[in-house]
Chain A
Amino acid sequence: SQELEQSPQSLIVQEGKNLTINCTSSKTLYGLYWYKQKYGEGLIFLMMLQKGGEEKSHEKITAKLDEKKQQSSLHITASQPSHAGIYLCGGGDAGGTSYGKLTFGQGTILTVHP
């Protein structure tokens, strides 16, 4: 079965610093999803990447998917306390018209100190 590993498991940064979270899959991904979660709440969708080499940005967050579609990174520029939370990557296991299953990494806990 597909496994996703995130690194680091936790990250503490000073406000204004840049940071990167990585997500590595044991198999080729059919869609890579990044979510943010506040403790005890649901997941908020950030970005979806599907094509090898794809890169997307929204505000100060940039996500990339490598050419082989097995590694993704999430980069936050000039971090703010509002960026704090748990970041999860999810990988789809099916392409085409199938809905498939979404497998998640263990999450990265981000703390941003003012």
Chain B
Amino acid sequence: DGGITQSPKYLFRKEGQNVTLSCEQNLNHDAMYWYRQDPGQGLRLIYYSQIVNDFQKGDIAEGYSVSREKKESFPLTVTSAQKNPTAFYLCASTSTRVGGYTFGSGTRLTVV
């Protein structure tokens, strides 16, 4: 079945470390997105990519980086510059042929 796979489900990071969250989709969607969700809040857009080898900053891009070398993959790196990285991270994809946005099951990142 087609879908979006995020890994790992849980991730622990030490202070000063970079960590990379994986997002893979087999839906043949062109656009992919990364969102951050904090308790009691909605989703905030970190980065998005509408085509391979191109991506744009969202509302809270500082301290994060992404790459889009393949259509299927959109990894997110949380760098040491991100001051408060503990959150739930969600990846999504869409295609104008579909119209909706499909979400992965999320990665919960905790700084220890």
Q: Which residues of A contact B (CB under 8 A)?
A: 1, 4, 6, 31, 33, 35, 40-43, 45, 48, 88, 90, 97-99, 101-107
Contact = CB atoms under 8 A, between A and B. Distances in A.
25 contacts: A40-B88, A40-B106, A40-B108, A41-B105, A42-B103, A42-B104, A42-B105, A43-B92, A43-B103, A45-B100, A45-B102, A88-B43, A98-B50, A99-B30, A99-B31, A99-B50, A99-B95, A99-B96, A101-B48, A102-B45, A102-B101, A104-B35, A104-B42, A106-B41, A107-B42
Contact of B101 (A1, A45, A98, A105): A45
A99 B94 contact: yes
A101 B92 CA distance: 11
Interface of B: 6, 30-31, 33, 35, 40-45, 48, 50, 58-59, 88, 90, 92, 94-96, 99-106, 108
A71 B40 CA distance: 22
A45 B99 CA distance: 11
A102 B92 contact: yes
Contacts of A35: 103
Contacts of B100: 33, 45, 48
Given A45-B100, A99-B94, A1 B59 contact: yes
Contact of A106 (B42, B88, B95, B105): B42
Contact of B90 (A31, A42, A99, A103): A42
Nearest to B39: A39
